[in-house]
Structure 1
Amino acid sequence: SLRFSNLNTAKKTEYKRNLPVKEIFAGIRIFAAALLIIAVARPQSGVKGEQVTTQGIDIVLTLDVSSSMLAEDIKPNRIEAAKQVAAEFIKGRKHDRIGLVVFAAEGYTQCPLTIDYSVLLTFLDNVKTGIIDDGTAIGMGLAAAINRLRTSQAKSKVIILLTDGGNNRGEIDPLTAAEAARAFGIKIYTIGAGTRGTALYPVDDPVFGRRYVPMKVDIDESTLQKIADITEASYFRATNAEQLKEIYKEIDKMEKTKIEVKEYTRYSELFYYLAGAALVLLAGAAVFESTKFLIVP
């Protein structure tokens, strides 16, 4: 039959029975049918991935800022060396909350627990001697650190205490503080910083200027060892800057953040893509057959 309103129009258009075209449309229908059959089988594609779960550690660095920390047996001096290795320790941690407590005659929080290490490093850089009345209140420093950790929900809670002397100020005994830490599940790593014997200590003389006087190094290693033992941690002695670096590296190795990796495969249905493609092919073939590729008998 003709699909034109009059015969003259049909005569002006040349039509040929084009068997290759018919074969193409037949092939399209077969291909579309194959897609539908595959779609009915509901094939799926899988994407593999990994889920990483981290369990961070809560750490409070507890630093002695008494005037004796100006001694220069650990270069450039004890307090600056302690700040430098603490900064390196902070930069090397991942996923942990870290805080900073300082103590002399009393203890107070310089920076609460945070994962913003840039802020923490700024607070650390501002630490110096003379910001608190002089003395060495180890128990008070520990109490301030424990107060920051006692409500923590972290799996591991750690205090790293660095001092160059023995407890001579404050209302809280260091061993009592250690018992409290153990009750809260807190480990206390203790570090005694200073050479053995005597160390040069700077004195600013109004007449002769700065001069150095020998100062006896008197670290209460027995108490520091007991604090570590009570809380199932370790005591370290640093007599120079290199040893101090190695101690912090050792603690870093012992207190690693737990990282759990789970592999998974996420599947997606291909049915809709295949069925959609088949329907588009069938519809397209029908439209083209009924319009552009008409065949006049």
Structure 2
Amino acid sequence: MSNLEAVAQRVLTPLILDEPGTIALEDQAAIATWVQKTALTAMLLSSKEQRENGYGLAPSEYRALYERRELVQPLDFSQFWVGRFEGVKGFSAVRVTPLTVRIPDFPEPPLPQGYAMTIVLGALLLHGVRFTTPGLQADTTTELGMPPLWPSETSVMWPAGQTCTEKSLLALADGGTLRATGGEVRLQPWSHAAHLPQSAFENGAIKVPALCRKHDIYYPAALLQEAHQGRFYAFMTSCECSAYLIHTDSDRIRFRAAGEPEGIAAMYADMVGDEFLIEDQIGEFACKRLPA
């Protein structure tokens, strides 16, 4: 693991700082493995109870990656791309989304058959997909035209392809830009994880199901009215399972991060934007106006 971190620091630091560079062919396997290791590690931040209820990745993924540590290669049936991100300075995120392989005229399978991995570090975007069901893997490309990091047969020049913005990041992280190169197979987020029930108006506030699916979170209706006017905000909230960093958008709220309260508070404090206090039936509610 320390060797992976050393390679990642050496190769990726200039790209994170938005300095054009090259990922040499001999470093690409290690970087792809680092992406997968980082994504799997991020999923361990969920509580034991959440993992027992299906949130997270199967233990077999961790065992398989450990067993091939001598190879310094990502798991079989994995593909990775590298691109450029343009957004709030210093922004970073890790997101893992379960995916299903959809075949026309067949219903959605009861369990996911793969997952998308997305890491943003400054100006650097790393994106990957891993198929976990034998026989259902597919060669894929991305709509952004990002160069392949793994498998690859040549050095990768960075930046290349279409720049990903904050607006397009969520679709990319949900696997929305992945396309199978042959046949009519489609990749889609697993509905059970990606589609939460709709929000509701309750006691003067907007009630939204939390990511844990066990609790609800609330935010002032005034933020919904602001969103209808094209003004969006970030705020912190929590349930019994986790703390959350949330952004409002034109048609929904977006969970940007989940984790321990201290970490979410630090992310909120680092955000650029004027802070406002809204008083409603719940009490005082702090939020930051997002840059236009």
| Structure with greater strand percent | 2
Q: With structure 2 as the length reference, what TM-score do the two structures score?
A: 0.23
Higher relative contact order (CA 8 A, sep 6+): 1
| Structure with greater helix percent | 1
The structure with the largest alpha-carbon Rg is: 1
